[in-house]
Amino acid sequence: MIVLFLFALLWMVEGALCQLHYTVQEEQEHGTFVGNIAEDLGLDITKLSARRFQTAPNSRSPYLELNLETGVLYVNEKIDREQICKQSPSCLLHLEVFLENPLELFRVEIEVLDINDNPPSFPEPDLTVEISESATPGTRFPLESAFDPDVGTNSLRTYEITPNSYFSLDVQTQGDGNRFAELVLDKPLDREQQAVHRYVLTAVDGGQPQQRTGTALLTIRVLDSNDNVPAFEQPVYTVSLPENSPPGTLVLQLNATDPDEGQNGEVIYSFSSHISARARELFGIAPRTGRLEVSGELDYEESSVYQVYVQAKDLGPNAVPAHCKVLVRVLDANDNAPEISFSTVKEAVSEAAAPGTVVALFSVSDRDSEENGQVQCELLQGDAPFRLKSSFKNYYTIVTEGPLDREQPGGDAYTLTVVARDRGEPPLSTSKSIQVRVSDVNDNAPRFSQPVYQVYVSENNVPGAYIYAVSATDRDQGANAQLAYSILESQIQGMSVFTYVSINSENGFLYALRSFDYEQLKEFSFQVEARDAGEEPQPLAGNATVNIIVVDQNDNAPAIVSPLPGRNGTPAREALPRGAEPGYLVSRVTAVDADDGENARLTYSIVRGNEASLFRMDWRTGELRTARRVPAKRDPQRPYELVIEVRDHGQPPLSSTAAIQVVLVDGAAERPGGGGALGAGAGAGGGGGGSGEHRPSRSGGDSSLDLTLILIIALGSVSFIFLLAMIVLAVRCQKEKKLNIYTCLASDCCLGCCCCCPCCSHQARARKKKLSKSDIMLVQSSNVPSNPAQVPVEESGSFGSHHHNQNYCYQVCLTPESAKTDLMFLKPCSPSRSTDTEHNPCGAIVTGYADQQPDIISNGSILSSETKHQRAELSYLVDRPRRVNSSAFQEADIVSSKDSGHGDSEQGDSDHDATNRGQSSARKRIC
């Protein structure tokens, strides 16, 4: 019958350590149910497989089998208790089972119950005892003991003998619980009456419900009388002897005395017949001397007490032996080192495991006793974050003490050494080492070799070409360190970054998907991402910025924007006065290059048409000037055909050419394609010269905003502000100096002539310096008939004297191109005032205001009527003979011819000094 009960329930950190106690009788058949461990522990049977329910390897037994799916424990093969546990009072089989996630360990004890399956037995079937006829009643004779392998109530309980009148049995119990019988003489023997007595000796056990017995034939021989029997000093001797005492070690010197003489008094020693076989192996006795010594290896762990039965008898006839018992107590020596047995060791522990996670479970034992069997354990781990924890009896667990980091140096695996040391003298120790591997978790994000990559890519690259390689590393391992590269979505000039670059997801190689153009896109940036393949707890990613810098190549030739060719591709025409001095600015070639740096640094040169070295080109500014005077014999109908080359400094250099046709003109004729436009006077006389410096064409105004345009706007703004300031200052100055102006005008001071007063003189000189013929436009007065006769203008620039009968009003207007800000107060001529005009020495520049207010023109615009009214009182009539060839217009002619071609340069002023000397003296006479 199987008895099942729960023995104990304990607990431990990171896993409860429980003890279940089952009992099973020996000799049960295969498959006999022992117990349901899972049910008794309250475990979920459905999770046993997932939690890897199993038995510890060092506790497995061939007699028992555990169903890992159901938790049922059953008998695997027949159990013979006497074979497993010998005569031990208790027979226990230990089984250790554990589960993972979390780790739980359970200790199961299976007690094998004894059944009365063995009868007592004697060493020999026939036992012989010799007794002298002189033995007195009450004498005891030890008999051979019977042996019963069973234990407890099934062991040997008593002896019985065939009922008779001479002998009886006295059953005694030894210190170890074994029973033996002594034959007691109840009635004197008489050899002559009966020399041999035969009885049946029966050994009976205590089995229930049926006892088992063993028998032997006891033969008692009655010997002739020997009066004295040897005698020991004491019936029982107690001796303590250390274990592992070498053979030959003296146990006890026995001494038995016999008062007889001769052979009847000579004593010999021997072991009694009922001594155990193991005692005969371990001890020996000298027959003549009675020296009891060690003959085998004593082991405290095998048995702590041995009973040695010794008899002594003389050599006389019919000798009667004397008996004594030597009780040998074996003293424990520290001869057994502790033993370490690991029940479970985790192959790997996660680096994310919390402190206190169980890594290994082991037990220690020492076969010695008392202090020699008391064991202390320690863990040699160095700096490893582990510690040792006592759990249950001699069980210990190795648990984590702190966080684990596999990526630290040496953090991927730890070698842990457990040392068990007893308290004996000298202490013995044992050590065992285990290898604990730290499994990786995805706790490190990928990291690029640098946070920002500067990648230089030449423009005009081949689409699909490799441009760079980004790389990232991950300190994790396995799938947690497998990286996949990608580009994060972004916009570049309104288009997806995926249309510009791509990346190899495996190695981080970057490829250009289009050909880059430096002139359209100089640089752009995007982000790359490296993401690992980890799953626990989640994939991690790292980012880096990639700046693509497009490197300029010399792929754009210079573009000439001025001068522009004519229609149908004809060369640009520039006018060159025949009398131009060396250094005269013929034209300025302007070119732009869409490239950058050295690729956009331009050099200008004349490559063809300058064989006579008449021209020179400034290689930096592109200014085309005369190097010497034009030969007098040069045919004016034969222009100069120049080819100008503009070359950049790229590698290889690129260039563009422009053809310029330089046309010789007489005087200061307007340059074809020039910036100024002549008015009616210029159209009639042809003597008005264009601006001395060529201005670039505005045909390229549709181009994108560049530095040149910004400078032009800035300069225009400054000029406009300056003009307004001058107007305001002029108005204020005019009011403050009204009396001075009246006085000046009354003293025959006029615009264009030399003045008596300093202010007029200064203004006249300023106008004399700045006025040019290109700034003069002839406008018909509003009160003149609609179709007046035209006044012919002579080649010299003076009017003819035969048109005195016609009245015209001449207004000096500043053209939009003029940079002058001077104000001229003009009065159109009236027919009714012709007589007054004849008295005006200034040639009809200032006239009477009786009929009409003067028109004030500033930079080509007529001022408002309010402004005119403020200036009306400044005019008065001066009666002078009217001159058709007025000195004012002559003076304007002179100033215009001086400034044509060279602007404000003093060189231009000096060119006309000789020509105009006579006219200057004439003007002085008039003033």
DSSP-derived 3-state class of residue 642: strand
| pLDDT at res. 683 | 29
100-131 CB burial, b ≥16 within 10 A, e <16: eeebbbbbbbbbbbbebbbbbbbeeeebebeb
Of the candidates 141, 127, 89, the residue with the CA atom closest to the CA atom of residue 111? 89
E strands present in 63-208: 64-66, 72-75, 92-99, 104-113, 126-132, 140-142, 156-161, 167-173, 179-185, 196-205
Residues 375 and 428 sit within 8 Å (Cβ to Cβ): no
Beta-carbon-side half-sphere exposure of residue 874 (alpha carbons within 13 Å): 24
Angle value at C-alpha 376, between 370 and 379, nearest 5 degrees? 165
DSSP-derived 3-state class of residue 52: coil
| pLDDT at res. 579 | 84
| pLDDT at res. 738 | 65
Work out the burial of residue 877: count CB atoms within 10 Å of its CB; fewer than 13 is exposed, 13-18 middle, 19 or more buried.
middle
Quickly list DSSP for 270-297: EE-TTS-HHHHHHEEE-TTT-EEEE-S-
Residues 366 and 372 sit within 8 Å (Cβ to Cβ): yes
Beta-carbon-side half-sphere exposure of residue 658 (alpha carbons within 13 Å): 26
Residues 357 and 15 sit within 8 Å (Cβ to Cβ): no
d(CA 361, CA 422): 20
Judged by phi (left if over 0) then psi (alpha if -120 to 50, else beta), residue 149 lies in alpha
Residues 923 and 909 sit within 8 Å (Cβ to Cβ): no
DSSP-derived 3-state class of residue 23: strand
Q: Report the predicted TM-score, pTM, of the whole model to 2 decimal places.
A: 0.48
DSSP helix, strand, coil percent of the chain (3-state; round to 5): 15, 35, 50
| pLDDT at res. 700 | 38
DSSP-derived 3-state class of residue 758: helix
d(CA 382, CA 556): 71
The answer for residues whose C-beta is within 8 angstroms of residue 261's C-beta and 6 or more apart is none
Residue spans of the chain under pLDDT 70: 1-18, 226, 667-706, 737-927
| pLDDT at res. 646 | 93
Of the candidates 381, 440, 447, the residue with the CA atom closest to the CA atom of residue 412? 440
Residues 304 and 330 sit within 8 Å (Cβ to Cβ): yes
Type of residue numbered 464: G
Residue 878's CB: how many other CB atoms inside 10 A?
18
DSSP-derived 3-state class of residue 909: helix
Residues 738 and 757 sit within 8 Å (Cβ to Cβ): no
Work out the burial of residue 817: count CB atoms within 10 Å of its CB; fewer than 13 is exposed, 13-18 middle, 19 or more buried.
middle
| pLDDT at res. 669 | 41
d(CA 50, CA 813): 106
Angle value at C-alpha 446, between 440 and 452, nearest 5 degrees? 165
Sign of the Cα pseudo-torsion (35, 38, 40, 41, in order): positive
Percent of the chain with pLDDT over 70: 73
> pLDDT digits over 85-116, tens only?
887 888 888 888 878 777 777 888 899 998 88
Reading the block at residue 531, the tokens are 């993401």
Residues 165 and 216 sit within 8 Å (Cβ to Cβ): no
Which DSSP symbol is given to 728?
Answer: H
Beta bridge partners of 665: 577
